[in-house]
Chain A
Amino acid sequence: MAKAELMNYEKALEQFEVVIGLEVHVELNTNTKMFCGCRNDFGDEPNTNVCPICIGLPGSLPAVNKRAVESSIAIGLALGCSIAPTGRFARKNYFYPDLAKNFQTSQYDEPIAFEGSLDVEVPSGKVFTVGIERAHMEEDAGKLTHIGGNTGRIHGAEYSLVDYNRAGVPLVEIVTKPVLGAGAEAPELAAAYVRSIREIVKALGVSDARMERGNVRCDANVSLRPHGQEKLGTRTETKNVNSLRSIERAVRYEIQRQAHILANGGTITQETRHWHEDKGATSAGRPKSDADDYRYFPEPDLVPVQPSHELIESIRATLPENPADRRKRLQAEWAFADLEFRDVVNAGLLDQIEETVAAGAKPQAARKWWTGEIARLANTEDKEIEALSVSAADVAELAQLVESGKINDRIGREVLAAVLAGEGTPSAIVAAKGLEVVSDDGALLAAIDEALAAQPDVIEAIREGRMQAAGAVIGAVMKAMKGQADAARVRELLVQRASE
């Protein structure tokens, strides 16, 4: 894949206005699939959650999952959408083995929810209102594994293997209107929007909302037009952007790539593009036109969905607090400074900190662990924080171990690394590795005396009030204790010794 030439980002923004559009697929966490009673479960043995309906055997008839409809209505309402008094399913016909039926059951001209909006805050603190065009119900496709060739990718594969466990899992696709006016912040806005959607569906309890598991997936449309031009430019749709960071990077990349082409008199090909996380670049997929012929037609095997006013209102009554109100409440409860809180929000760590505090940690301690060491380790491993195997309960336990003086911060970081390596809970790791700080004053005093014997001048210096001289002794004691001592306590004992 030849790397495309890119225009400098600032220059691109001087010349062009950025327009983005986002399609987010949310996998619902119902017990069963959208149209059949097979289990909706991730990671089971291949083709064990399948039945004649979801593998498209002739004569099978679908039936709509009631809870999936209710979840879809909840998502629509949370996004300020109107709920269609009548909506129907449609067949989207395409030939690709990820669905055995040769069509996807979706919604076309009558989506369940339409015309909403969502206020999204970007890292600078600015708030953009993103228009929601529609949210519709559909089914997920099966999982393909490409075999042969040398890369495991689709190109060059000799054959593909299909697991239909995911085929028929309920999805809600949320489509924005074109988003204008974000300028240089368009990439951040795209990521912040998807984060908001995740927060909402998680708060609604309708999805597990884990991006690394594909519960929330995003396709990002990007187009550019010269400032002042009315007509929208030709867009590309980048697929496979499945982390918040990738969304931001992919949108930024497309802006720079398209700007280079346009500024050199070229034209943008309307196409799907694939994001490659490793290369930090997109590559051309198949050409796509607005008139892509999926031969949509009303699904004859399903009758329309006509949610009653009572049903809609009863779902509206159970909607959780909206994310903006929740943020205000949490900041007040935790007493975080504006900057501290914004860092937490931008890092997408509200849930983690809330759970950690609920598990018994002090808010500031929870904040420091998540935005500090855990974020650092995620960054080092080039992973999303959610993908790290550390739970809120682990962090709360860790914070309490430090708070109670059983371990110090440095040991805490070591314990955290062990938790991430799957060695157990923090307490178990501290016990197993004998990491608890030496709180036995006798042992500490013995080490202090030994250090003082090696550096006899120090005691006199301390007596004269030159405390900086204490550092060498404290250092020697910490070393003797293999770091497992409370430095503040060593200092206290040292001062005590000097005053004897």
Chain B
Amino acid sequence: MSELTPDLVRHLASLARIQVTDAEVDRLTEQLAVIVDAVATINKAVEGDVPATSHPIPMANVFREDVVEPSLTQTEALSGAADSDQGRFRVAAILDEE
């Protein structure tokens, strides 16, 4: 069984900036536990020397030439931001005062 607790779910939700109700926490705790267990099962299946697959098709060396392409305008870039100021994305304080 996974070690998923309601507190951990609340922590994840706060990291992901999603507001959750107590009822949702209970439901998500249950559902996430199932997912984590499923991944654990896969982990067991590939224990040993199975190399990680990064790409299903054996390809290499797909490059882009070093040529400038148009960027977004500042307005476009910021259009999806929750908040912005002085042409920049505005984000909540990163660390609390220590």
Contact = CB atoms under 8 A, between A and B. Distances in A.
Interface of A: 30-32, 36-39, 45-52, 55, 57, 63-69, 86, 88, 95-97, 100, 144-149, 154-164, 297-300, 302-307
A49 B95 contact: no
Contacts of B60: 86, 303-306
15 contacts: A32-B69, A37-B71, A38-B71, A63-B63, A64-B62, A66-B65, A66-B66, A157-B93, A158-B93, A161-B90, A164-B89, A297-B54, A298-B52, A304-B55, A306-B60
Contacts of A96: 94
Nearest to B95: A154
B74 A303 contact: no
A364 to B, nearest CB: 41
B98 to A, nearest CB: 6
Contacts of A304: 54-55, 60-61
Contacts of A147: 85
A71 B86 CA distance: 35
Given A154-B94, A305-B61, A306-B61, A299 B54 contact: yes
B90 A159 contact: yes
Interface in B45-90: 52-55, 59-74, 77-78, 80, 85-90
B42 to A, nearest CB: 13
Nearest to A311: B61
Nearest to A298: B54
A100 to B, nearest CB: 8
Contacts of A161: 85-86, 88-91
B18 to A, nearest CB: 14
Contact of B88 (A32, A37, A148, A163): A163
B65 A38 contact: no
Given A36-B69, A86-B60, 6 more contacts: A32-B68, A45-B74, A47-B89, A48-B73, A69-B63, A300-B54
Interface in B1-39: 15
Contacts of B72: 47, 50-52, 55
A156 B71 CA distance: 34
Contacts of B70: 37
The SS class assigned to the A binding surface is loop
Contacts of B77: 47-48, 50, 55, 164
Nearest to A145: B88
B73 to A, nearest CB: 7
B68 A37 contact: yes
Given A95-B15, A161-B88, A37 B74 contact: no
A62 to B, nearest CB: 9
A96 B61 CA distance: 30
Contacts of B94: 96-97, 144, 146, 154, 157, 160
Contacts of B92: 159-160
B32 to A, nearest CB: 16
A47 B55 contact: no
Contacts of A146: 94
A63 B62 CA distance: 7
A282 to B, nearest CB: 16
